[in-house]
Amino acid sequence: MLCRSLLVLLAGLLLVQAHGVDLSLQKRQVAAKSYPPCGTSPPFDPAWSTFLSGALDTGADITACGNSKTWSLTYDDGPSEYTPGLLDQLDTVGVKTTFFVIGCNVANNPSILRRAYQAGHQIGIHTWTHPSLPKLTSEQIVAEIMWTAKIIRDITGQTPTYMRPPYGDIDARVRGLLHKMGLKVVIWNRDTDDWELQTFNPNAQNSSQVVTPTSVRASISSWIASPPAEGIISLEHDLFQLPAQIAGETLQRVSMAGFNINTVASCVGTAPYNNTAIEVIFNPAIASSLSKAPSTTASASANSTATLTASKSPSSSPSPSAGSIRASLDWSIIGTIALVLLCSQLDVSNAF
């Protein structure tokens, strides 16, 4: 009886440790890599110069989705602490949408990005620091994209092929650069202006607040009643509480109205990811230089903030190393085997 109890106890410990190794390794996969700070343009890697040469092609941006009964819900600027609530609702409704994420916010919320990806939602690039791209140099534009692509790749194993420029700001130079990087540019044809709700004050006495929850809901109502023939790509945000809350309401209403809700990649009919650029993204020299300076280290515990500031910490992770965890797991296995052998010996004397 004693042997059986000890075996059950050891087996339980084994399971817990095995699970711990899995989670720790997942966290470590991101935490061990350093990323640029959020306040300034991320560094440019000379290896990316290949994107700067040659003619810039032009092409149409993606603004619509299919036909009048299709609707692509897109959420920008996350992931944030409000994203999981939206993901819960998406799970309940059972549809897939698109998140255009900010690299700095991904660094602060890697587990939320991982959840969104694993749930089957499309992950797209929305830059590292959310600048207006036409105001940047070409090197800065490429760096904004590449660092965001890198952290998404580090967490999901996938490199996005779709991006949305912050504020929808784009010109021929920016578009040409993005196309050269293999990216499809997604704008929208319906804008809720919900981002303005971040400063909404329900107790304000004056009527200067143009965008209110009521006005956003009215916009959605009109779009549902009269959808454009080319379908809808709507713009919403999951960085702040009120916009994220209304995004959840909108999801329910669009679904109830019978629209076919799709990711942008599904609308366009091409793959959401393409990993052929990985070798360019993973340049060891630039990663090494970052490890010598203060940098943003992805942490599941840090919070996303309105100003897109990120926690700064040394690149080394204080968590136990994978090697030490694996060693303790090995000893648990050895202990379990030894106990089984011992118990089988004692079994002869009916001690089991």
Q: Please identify, among the stretches 158-166, 172-180, 207-215, 225-233, the one whose residues bind Zn ion according to the rule CB under 5 A.
A: 158-166
CB of 164 to Zn ion, least distance (A): 7
Helix H or strand E segment including 292: none
Is 104:303 a contact under the CB 8 Å cutoff? no
Minimum CB distance to Zn ion smaller for 134 or for 335: 134
Please identify which residue in the block is written with the tokens 């050895």.
334
Establish if 272 lies at the interface with Zn ion (CB under 5 A). Answer: no
Q: Is the peptide bond before 213 cis (omega within 30 degrees of 0)?
A: no
Minimum CB distance to Zn ion smaller for 34 or for 74: 74
Establish if 76 lies at the interface with Zn ion (CB under 5 A). Answer: yes
Look up 76 and say whether it is catalytic.
yes
Minimum CB distance to Zn ion smaller for 77 or for 194: 77
How far is it, in rounded angstroms, from Cα 163 to Cα 272? 10
Per CB under 5 A, the list member of 17, 34, 77, 247 interacting with Zn ion is 77
How far is it, in rounded angstroms, from Cα 36 to Cα 240? 23
* Residue 176 φ/ψ, nearest 5 degrees: -60, -40
Active-site entry in 76, 77, 154, 194: 76
Establish if 124 lies at the interface with Zn ion (CB under 5 A). Answer: no
Look up 154 and say whether it is catalytic.
no
Q: Write the single-letter amino acid at 309.
A: T
CB of 235 to Zn ion, least distance (A): 9
Number of residues interacting with Zn ion: please give it, by CB under 5 A: 3
Q: Please identify, among the stretches 75-83, 116-124, 138-146, 203-211, the one whose residues bind Zn ion according to the rule CB under 5 A.
A: 75-83
Residue whose beta carbon is closest to Zn ion: 76
Pairing verdict, β 184-185 and 162-163: parallel
Q: Please identify, among the stretches 50-58, 159-167, 221-229, 301-309, the one whose residues bind Zn ion according to the rule CB under 5 A.
A: 159-167
Per CB under 5 A, the list member of 37, 110, 166, 272 interacting with Zn ion is 166
Is 177:56 a contact under the CB 8 Å cutoff? yes
Minimum CB distance to Zn ion smaller for 76 or for 236: 76
DSSP string over 209-225:
--S-HHHHHHHHHHHHH
Minimum CB distance to Zn ion smaller for 77 or for 154: 77
Please identify which residue in the block is written with the tokens 């280290």.
297
Minimum CB distance to Zn ion smaller for 105 or for 315: 105
Q: Write the single-letter amino acid at 162.
A: Y
Q: Which class for 82: exposed (0-12), middle (13-18), buried (19 or more C-beta within 10 A)?
A: buried
Active-site entry in 121, 126, 130, 237: 237
CB of 117 to Zn ion, least distance (A): 19
Would you tell me how many other CB atoms lie within 10 Å of the CB of residue 60?
A: 9
Q: Which of 70, 64, 134, 113 is nearest to 304 (CA)?
A: 113
CB of 296 to Zn ion, least distance (A): 18
Active-site residues, by number, are 76, 237
Binding site for Zn ion (CB under 5 A): 76-77, 166
